[in-house]
């Protein structure tokens, strides 16, 4: 199949698939006589793997590691688990950070009248700085 069908089946864009080939995340696709890239079921499966890994938050380097594990029949599931736990930890920290931001945004919004006047707790709050160094 051509690249756009592989894209549809994998959930990646054709652009992204070419990009993944460029950066050697996947092996160069076979080519048909006209020079078009050709994908088989196995190739699509790897693309779907990558799409899913990205979806759950792995970056390209981590996705590459996971893909290598999936290709390696002598892998140790411990390695995959380590990657997942580490990502989960980072994600947890990120979530807590966003929740804290969210909390502060709502606190600011609550105290701002949001009318036609210039007085604004949001602006004051952002301007009010924790002075650090003198």
SS3 129: coil
Angle of helix 41-55 relative to helix 14-22, nearest 10 degrees, comes to 90
- Contact mark string toward DNA, 5..44, x via CB under 7 A: x-------xxxx-xx---------x---xxxxx-------
Nearest CB to DNA, comparing residues 27 and 74 = 27
Q: What are phi and psi of 37, to 5 degrees?
A: -70, 140
Q: Is 67 in the site for DNA (CB under 7 A)?
A: no
Q: Is 59 in the site for DNA (CB under 7 A)?
A: yes
Whether 10 contacts 44, CB under 8 Å:
yes
**Which positions lie near DNA, rule CB under 7 A?**
2-5, 13-16, 18-19, 29, 33-37, 54, 59-61
């Amino acid at each position: 199949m051509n690249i756009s069908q592989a894209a549809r089946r994998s959930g990646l864009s054709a652009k992204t698939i070419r990009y993944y080939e460029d950066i050697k995340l996947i092996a160069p696709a076979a080519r048909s006589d006209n020079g078009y890239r050709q994908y088989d079921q196995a190739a699509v499966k790897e693309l779907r793997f990558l799409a899913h890994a990205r979806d759950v938050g792995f970056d390209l380097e981590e996705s590459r590691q996971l893909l290598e594990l999936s290709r390696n029949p002598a892998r140790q599931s411990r390695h995959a688990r380590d990657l997942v736990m580490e990502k989960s930890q980072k994600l947890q920290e990120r979530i807590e950070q966003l929740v804290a931001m969210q909390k502060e945004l709502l606190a600011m919004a609550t105290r701002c009248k949001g009318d036609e006047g210039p007085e604004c707790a949001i602006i004051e709050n952002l301007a009010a700085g924790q002075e650090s160094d003198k």
